[in-house]
Amino acid sequence: MHPRKINPKIVIAVLLPVFLAVTALYAWRSGSEVSVKVPEEIEDYLFWEARNLTDFKLTAAGNKTFDLDNMKGKWSFIFFGYTHCPDVCPTTLMQMGAAFKLLEYDPAIYPEIQGVFISVDPDRDTPELLKDYVAYFNPGFIGLTANKARIDAFSRQIGALYKLHNEESADSYEVTHNSTIFLIDPKGRLYGRFSPPQAAPEIASTFIRIRKFYRQQEENGWSLF
């Protein structure tokens, strides 16, 4: 029995539409999304993939609500701590304030950034107290807190850990907390972080590079690899 001959015209008629569809899909993906490697000088500061945040509610001075919408449209530098902190909090906020002072020289960048200090010790830190506390480091910094449930709901999204050591005293106790400055992008996503020890020049210069890369990423539809 002789093998059946395949008609080349039939093969072409069947495979040509498939080939054209695959080619068009590849061309569309190539034009709309290009995978790029994060520049080496900022790769240690960025998360592998920006993480969307769910809405939250914290409280600022004057009983004003601060939620996810208050972060959108700006770069938010987030630090968790408490006002009775003897060393890490004032040191970190001082460096963050100095970094903002350096960024203030660029009129295009400075309006895009905001510093946010979130107290994980609401029993001792009222929103009014926090307003005065953060103003020492930068008049524009925002001080926030809330009840434990709301603080936990937000801190867990960010990955900021803390523990109150108030088992023996309700007035004098310490708090163990994360000392990272977290960076939220203008879309309200967890985008990067500045791990300790932080220095103002490093924070400022690295953020300028991050912002530049972010803008290129958004304009060109880049994904990361």
What are 125-141's pLDDT values in tens digits? Answer: 999 999 999 999 999 99
Give yes or no for a contact between 118 and 156, defined as CB atoms under 8 angstroms apart. Answer: no
For 132-141, b/e burial (b = at least 16 CB within 10 A) is ebbeebbeeb
Computed over every residue of the chain, the mean pLDDT equals: 88
For 39-76, b/e burial (b = at least 16 CB within 10 A) is eeebeebbeeebeebeebebbbbeeeebeeebbeebbb
Counted domains in the chain: 1
pLDDT at residue 35, as a whole number: 65
22 belongs to a structural domain: no
**3-state SS string over 57-74?**
EEEEHHHEEEEHHHCCCC
18: left (phi over 0), alpha (psi -120 to 50) or beta: alpha
32 belongs to a structural domain: no
Span 159-185, average pLDDT: 92
pTM, full prediction: 0.82
- Reply yes or no on whether the pLDDT at 179 is more than 60: yes
Q: What is the CATH number of the domain that holds 134?
A: 3.40.30.10
150 belongs to a structural domain: yes
The amino acid present at 32, given as its one-letter code, is S
6 belongs to a structural domain: no
220 belongs to a structural domain: yes
The range of the structural domain enclosing residue 137 comes to: 43-224
205 belongs to a structural domain: yes
28 belongs to a structural domain: no
36 belongs to a structural domain: no
Nearest to 78 by CA among 193, 186, 1: 193
- Model confidence at 90, in pLDDT bands (50, 70, 90)? very high
C-alpha angle 144/212/69, rounded to 5°? 30
Q: What's the DSSP call for residue 221?
A: T
